[in-house]
């Protein structure tokens, strides 16, 4: 498990997936924050994640675009419908108990993250969903913090037909195996 400041992890396809922000110190066993490598989520929410985790003792705190004051800005209607639809279908089939399964802005206790990464086999958007589903399966507690998500300024989304098919296959696999 990477513990270096700004360490980048890749989940396949050669794309940088997430950045582990420097909130982890081995001597202090602080939680890890994971944020998109494109930094489309504002770091201003990090104190809220830490406060939520400390107050509730959560194993995992996930940013949510779909509760409270959370939201998405800069997406066209098609992208919003795909994201909402993916989260809705996932809620119906998997009952994960978290409102935003495809987001990547999360805080994990170190040992929880290590345990989940060992068990998860998915890539792409399905990886984030599997992390939440496996967390619930292992009885880890999950808190949520409403976040604002602003579309990336640099680069382009890789959300296309192949990612949607991969997501559906992953969803059905999780439905059949969890």
pLDDT tens digits for 20-29?
Answer: 444 445 556 6
- On average, the pLDDT of the chain sits at 78
Structure tokens at 93: 């089939």
Assess if residue 90 is contained within a domain. yes
Per the domain annotation, does 3 fall within a domain?
A: no
N-terminal to C-terminal alpha carbon distance within the chain: 25
Note whether residue 124 is domain-resident: yes
Is 138 part of any domain? yes
Please check whether residue 67 lies inside any domain of the structure: yes
Domain presence at residue 1: no
Our count of domains for the chain comes to: 1
pTM for this predicted structure? 0.76
At residue 29, the pLDDT reads 67
C-alpha radius of gyration, the chain, whole number: 15
For residue 111, is it within any domain? yes
- Distance separating alpha carbons of residues 127 and 13, to the nearest angstrom: 13
């Amino acid at each position: 498990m990477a513990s270096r400041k700004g360490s980048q992890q890749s989940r396949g396809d050669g794309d940088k997936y997430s950045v582990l922000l420097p909130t982890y110190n081995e001597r202090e066993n602080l939680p890890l924050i994971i944020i998109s490598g494109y930094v489309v989520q504002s770091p201003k929410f990090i104190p809220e994640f830490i406060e939520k985790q400390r107050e509730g003792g959560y194993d995992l705190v996930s940013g949510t675009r779909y509760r409270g004051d959370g939201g998405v800005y800069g997406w066209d209607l098609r992208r919003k419908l795909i994201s909402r639809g993916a989260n809705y279908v996932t809620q119906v089939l998997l009952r994960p108990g978290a409102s935003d399964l495809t987001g990547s802005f999360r805080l994990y206790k170190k040992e929880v993250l290590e345990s989940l990464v060992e068990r998860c086999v998915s890539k792409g958007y399905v990886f984030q969903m599997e992390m939440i589903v496996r967390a619930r399966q292992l009885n880890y507690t999950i808190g949520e913090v409403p976040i604002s998500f602003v579309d990336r300024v640099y680069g382009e989304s890789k959300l296309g037909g192949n990612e949607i098919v991969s997501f559906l296959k992953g969803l059905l696999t999780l439905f059949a195996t969890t």
